């Protein structure tokens, strides 16, 4: 795990009421975090995701996951460092919305 993934996992996701798993394989992709109950993937993006090739790869990947009914939440690594509480709140809202 990257330092940001580790921080999100240990500070929030590992004890979240709906189980999240790390490094889950779906098709040819490995998701950073996945909650099966909500069909929600959480991805943390480093700088390579903001380059043209990275943006294209992420779009293809997101379209594939969406076709399986999986929603993808993406956060830049900087959000974990600067706004962890906001990231956790957004994840919680999305899980609750998708688990109803």
pLDDT in tens, 77-88: 999 999 999 999
Biggest CA pair distance of the chain: 37
- Reduced to 3 states (helix: H, G, I; strand: E, B; else coil), residue 12 is coil
3-state secondary structure 26-61: ECCEEEEEEECCCCEEEEEECHHHHCHHHHHHHHHH
Q: From CA 80, how far away is CA 86, in angstroms rounded?
A: 9
pLDDT in tens, 10-59: 999 999 999 999 999 999 999 999 999 999 999 998 755 456 776 788 89
Q: DSSP label at 38? A: T
């Amino acid at each position: 795990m990257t330092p940001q993934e580790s921080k999100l996992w240990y500070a929030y996701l590992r004890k979240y009421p709906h189980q999240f798993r790390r490094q889950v394989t779906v098709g040819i992709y490995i998701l950073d975090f996945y909650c099966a109950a909500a069909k929600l993937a959480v991805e943390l993006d480093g700088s390579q995701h903001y380059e043209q090739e990275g943006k294209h790869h992420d779009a293809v990947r997101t379209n594939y996951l969406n076709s399986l009914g999986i929603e993808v939440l993406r956060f830049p690594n900087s959000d974990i460092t600067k706004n962890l509480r906001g990231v956790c709140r957004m994840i919680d809202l999305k899980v609750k919305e998708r688990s109803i």
